[in-house]
Structure 1
Amino acid sequence: MKARVHIMLKDGVLDPQGEAVRHALGTLGFEGVTGVRQGKVIELDLAGEDRSAAETQVKAMCEKLLSNTVIEKYSIEFI
């Protein structure tokens, strides 16, 4: 089983990397981009077939290590 975790900064948290990308896009001639938020994607290969147990395990991974829940939010999808 494979899980994909999407991690983004929470709304209202300053995103300097996103702002740098927005600025660079404008410099390259891509007008009209008014905001960029940058995040990360983590793919996990998981043993077993119990989706409920896997979801519980991946949530625990996000809470303990993969995401800084003070400033980041995450979503999980199974692929």
Structure 2
Amino acid sequence: MKAIVTVMLKDGVLDPQGEAVRHALGSLGFAGVEGVRQGKVIELDLAETDEAKARAEAEAMCQRLLANTVIESYRVELA
């Protein structure tokens, strides 16, 4: 089973990479961009076939390694 994890900085946390992208887009002529938040997407190929167990496993991975839960939020989708 495939788990797709999306990790983003929480609201209120400074995002210097997002700000750099917003500035670069403005320099390229994309004037309407008021804000950019940059995150990461992690695709996991899991051996687990039970959806509930796969979700629990992916959630545990996020809590322990994939996301810094102090400043980041995450979302797990199964495919």
Q: How much does 1:48 deviate?
A: 2.5
Whether 1:59 and 2:55 are equivalent positions in the alignment is no
Q: How much does 1:4 deviate?
A: 0.1
Displaced runs of 4 or more, over 3 A: none
What CA deviation, in whole Å up to 9, does each residue of 1:39-71 have, x standing for no partner? 000000000211111111111000000000000
Give the Cα separation in 2 of the matches to 1:74 and 1:3. 12
Segments of structure 2 that go 5 or more residues without pairing to the other structure are: none
Give the Cα separation in 2 of the matches to 1:65 and 1:34. 31
Query: Which secondary structure does the structure 2 equivalent of 1:41 belong to?
Result: strand
Structure 2 residue aligned with 1:14: 14
Structure 2 residue aligned with 1:48: 48
Indicate the RMSD between aligned Cα atoms, in angstroms.
0.5
Whether 1:72 and 2:68 are equivalent positions in the alignment is no
Letter in 2 for 1:64: R
Structure 1 residue aligned with 2:29: 29
* Identity of matched residues, %: 70
When normalised by structure 2's length, the TM-score is 0.98
Letter in 2 for 1:49: T
Q: How much does 1:35 deviate?
A: 0.1
Residue range with higher mean Cα deviation, 15-24 or 49-58: 49-58
